[in-house]
Amino acid sequence: MGPLTALLDWLASRGLEIVLIVLGSVLLARFITWVGTRITDRIDARSTGGDVLVRSEAAKHRHSLTQVITWSLIVLVYTVAAFYVLDRLGVPVTGLVAPATVLGVGLGFGAQRIVGDVLAGFFLITERQYGFGDVVSIAVVGGGDPASGTVEDVTLRVTRLRSADGEVVTVPNGQIVKVVNLSRDWARAVVDVPVPTTADVNRVNEILREVGSEAFADAGLRRLLLDEPSVMGVESIDLEQVNVRVVARTLPGRQFEVGRDLRERIVVAFRRAGLTLTPAPPLEPAPAGAGSSGRPGTKP
């Protein structure tokens, strides 16, 4: 009965304290997560539909900063709870200082990349290089194709992007060597219109200016534009075509939508005016012996 009584006494005292500490840390972590979610939702609700670019950039930074603070507080809560549990179990916490120092030095050499990720994430947040909702293109160590998409989550260690295909891309912050922010303050939609060299360039410029004026007068497109689209003139000259450039300043991240709309309007306007865009070059014939398939560009 002696050992059983001692076990019951320990469960009634220290064991109950450990259970309460673990339960309290879990509840506190969930409360912190709930508060962080409420704050980010309120930030998003206030910034939705606003055309004030400075306020939208501040909202992106506040959203990312709230996520980082929430994550740091949760880590702190669980760390403190772990120390209290060790103390209730009778493990001398002060006696772990020396072994922890040795272990920390060993982990420091083995976890240099993690430390680098955290430091890089700290500077990403404080320097406001990008934030939640920004459209970015990130080049990583080792080259290759950059990771492009919309920022969905920024922590001290990683950045998560949602690509145009719906894929989630996770990039360690310490591996980032270059960031191209496509939605900072304002963006620019660039449309190059190829026309034959025989076309009247002055007439083409006139049609493009009319398209820009009509687009700026459209209530649906006007909210995305900062000013009326401008015709920059001939951008390049080839043997069979010239490229006339149209640019439009847009709200952050909306340049792709505006560019698609302008292209549709230009095609309709050219068709109405009886002008045509430069056709694609014909397919080259296949080499002899390629066989007969009845398709264009192959010999029978």
In this prediction, residue 261 carries a pLDDT of: 93
Tokens of 201: 């360039």
Write down the H helix ranges in the chain. 2-10, 16-47, 53-88, 97-110, 112-126, 201-217, 219-222, 255-273
Which pLDDT value is given to residue 299?
39
Which pLDDT belongs to residue 287?
45
Nearest to 226 by CA among 53, 54, 44, 56: 53
Q: Is the pTM of this model over 0.85?
A: no
**Residue 252 phi/psi, 5° resolution?**
-55, 130
What is the pLDDT at residue 116? 80
pLDDT per residue rounded down to tens, the chain (300 residues): 466 666 566 666 677 788 888 898 899 989 998 988 888 777 767 665 444 444 455 666 677 778 778 888 888 888 888 888 887 777 776 666 666 665 666 556 556 677 788 888 888 877 888 877 788 899 988 767 888 888 888 888 889 998 878 889 999 988 899 888 887 777 888 899 999 888 888 999 999 999 999 999 998 888 888 889 999 888 888 888 899 999 998 887 788 889 999 999 999 999 988 887 765 455 455 444 444 344 444 433
pLDDT of residue 300: 34
